Structures are given as C-alpha cells and as structure tokens.
Amino acid sequence: MEIGLAADHGGYELKEFLKTYLIGKGHHITDFGAYQMDSKDDYPDFVIPLAHAVVKKEVERGIAVCGSGVGASVVANKVAGVRAALINDHFSAHQGVEDDDLNLLCLGGRITGNMVAQEFVESFLNARFTGEERHLRRLGKVKALEK
C-alpha cells in the first residue's frame, strides 16, 4: 500500500518509528516531513501537503502525527475530500474506515506509545469501507458541506 506520513516535532519520533515499521511490512512510504527534529516547526506545513496527496490519490492512506494529534486532525479536515480523525482506540481505527471512509489517521506522538500506535495503524490499514447505503447517505451529507 502507498502510505503518506507527516509529523511535526511533537510527532517526529513516532513517525520515524512507524515509517520503519511500515517499510518492514512491505508498504511504500511517502514522507512529507518533518525530516529532522525542529522544536520550532509547525504541523500545518507537513500535514497540509499530506492531505492534498490523499485527496489526489497520490497515496492510498495518510497518517499524521503531532504532539496530541488534535492539531493534525483539525488542519487535515480543512482540505476538502479528507476524512481525518484522531484515533485513540482499536475500534475507531477500523470502524472509521468501514463506516466513514476515513482516509487519514491522526495520532498523538506525546500520548500514544509505539506499540499501541502500530496496532492502531494496522487496524486502520486493514479496514475497508463497506459502502453500505446508510454510510453513503451520511457521507453525501458531509461532502455537501465541502461545496
């Protein structure tokens, strides 16, 4: 799978861990930065390009990490076509994809441990949108807001 990763200083270490893990699992990674630890960088500078790549289908799924995951989620959802969520549990990691066609996972680098993040990412990547009528109807209402 083609996966895009992005993080600021608050998520840099977790992004690097996930990058190594995902490459080891055979995924192709596009890294949108940060490329080094810089305590003065800003998450929108990395998450916005990732969000655009998700919408343009340059990557199949995106993973964004900032300190709490909140900022990454907020900015990613400003890009029309992105359905991003801050994930802190296994159920939401797969249910978000299955029901809401989640295409960008957000994590908190300061609150989510490496092994837990790895499990959330696996749940997210292995899930598929069901395409059920009720979910399509709801997503249609969401997409109408983007116009």
Taking only the tens place, the pLDDT of each residue in 31-76 is 999 999 999 999 999 999 999 999 999 999 999 999 999 999 999 9
Number of structural domains found in the chain:
1
Per annotation, catalytic residue among 5, 14, 65, 66: 66
Annotation says 106 is catalytic = no
How high is the pLDDT of residue 10? 98
Instruction: Determine what percent of the chain is predicted with pLDDT higher than 90.
Output: 99
**CATH at residue 25:** 3.40.1400.10
How high is the pLDDT of residue 147? 86
Q: Using alpha carbons, select from 79, 106, 119 the residue that is nearest to residue 10.
A: 106
Domain hosting 121: range is 2-145
